[in-house]
Amino acid sequence: MSRLTPYNSKRDFAVTPEPPGRIAKRAGKKLRFVIQRHAATRLHFDLRLELDGVYKSWAVTKVPSLDPATKRLAVEVEDHPIDYGTFEGTIPQGEYGGGTVQLWDNGTWTPQGDNPQRDLARGSLKVCFDGKRMHGGWALIRLRDKDTGFRKQPRHNWLLIKETDEYAKPGEPDALASEVTSVKSGRTLEEIASRSRKVWHSNRSEKKEPEAKPRAAATRAKAPAKRKAPAAAKPAAKKKLRK
Ligand code: MN
């Protein structure tokens, strides 16, 4: 089983514009991170840290807090493919994670320790972000499962906490809430959603289908919608889990 099997098995790539999961090669010396603002059933922030060819991922329930005294709940979710790091668009309603996804931050991160894999397994990872909105030291601390109803909801809960440094803003937990545009396109969630509706049928890439395209070309552009998802994502094996 690939580390991306859970990701693939939750999604129908003939329907969702999200990318199919493949393990990526490391692109550079630095590890990437991305935060996607996701207007699903509830608005949340999906934090993704590159590690070993995938994005380790958490759904943070509120905007990351710059106040070290204000901890944010970060629910561990399935590893995501590195291709996901540039995704912005609308996942159809009824699909897993249905709603609009906005690229809210991206950049690189550095583990503060020398063994981030071990630190993750132990439930205490300290990182340094070099993003557009996220800067400096942050900690991810896993809560003890017996304290968090893990058996009812089999996902580990973590806390995302700003460390005290020159980027911290004590007493201003919601300082980043005013940042509502995409770092990729400058668009608001509403603008992404309205654009996505127009190109709904075109499957994955909004960019590949300019609005004023001749009819024949537009028809051709639909063809990739039937492209096969990776073996792990065969419909028979697919389980739709809704948020
Ligand atoms: Mn999400």
Distance 216 CA to ligand 1 centre (A): 35
CA atoms within 13 A on the CB side of 60: 24
Token pair for residue 1? 């089983």
Structure tokens at 206: 């909004």
How many angstroms is it from 161 CA to the middle of ligand 1? 19
Residue 183 CA to ligand 1 center (angstroms) comes to 17
> 49 CA distance to ligand 1 centroid (A)?
14
235 pLDDT more than 70:
no
Separation between Cα atoms, residue 119 and residue 122, nearest integer Å: 5
pTM of this prediction?
Answer: 0.78
The total number of residues shown for the chain amounts to 243
Rounded (10°) CA dihedral 168, 32, 52, 156: 40
Expressed in angstroms and rounded, the spacing between residue 212 Cα and the centre of ligand 1 is 32
Q: What is the band of 80 on the pLDDT scale with cuts at 50, 70, 90? A: very high
CA of 95 to the centre of ligand 1 (A): 12
Query: Domain residue spans in the chain?
Result: 5-200
pLDDT for 25 equals 82
Task: Tell me the CA–centroid distance for residue 122 and ligand 1, in Å.
Answer: 24
Which tens digit of pLDDT belongs to each residue from 193-216?
997 665 444 445 444 444 443 444
Q: Pairing state of beta strands 99-111 and 124-131?
A: antiparallel
Whole-number Å distance, alpha carbon 84 to ligand 1 midpoint, is 12
Which pLDDT value is given to residue 145? 73
pLDDT digits (tens, 9 = 90+) for 88-102: 999 999 999 999 999
The arithmetic mean of pLDDT across residues 218-226, rounded, is 41
Side-chain-facing half-sphere of 209: CA atoms under 13 Å = 23
CA 112 to ligand 1 centroid distance, Å: 26
> pLDDT at residue 176 above 90?
yes
Report yes or no: 233 and 9 within 8 Å, Cβ to Cβ: yes
- 3 state SS for the chain: CCCCHHHHHCCCCCCCCCCCCCCCCCCCCCEEEEEEEEECCCEEEEEEEEECCEEEEEEECCCCCCCCCCCEEEEEEEEEEHHHHHCCEEECCCCCCCEEEEEEEEEEEEECCCCHHHHHHHCEEEEEEEECCCEEEEEEEECCHHHCCCCCCCCCEEEEEECCCCCCCCCCCCHHHHCCCCCCCCCCHHHHHHHHHHCHHHCCCCCCCCCCCCHHHHHHHHHHHHCCCCHHHCHHHCCCCCC
If you measure from the C-alpha of residue 215 to the centroid of ligand 1, how many angstroms do you get, rounded to a whole number? 34
| CA 72/CA 111 separation, integer angstroms | 20
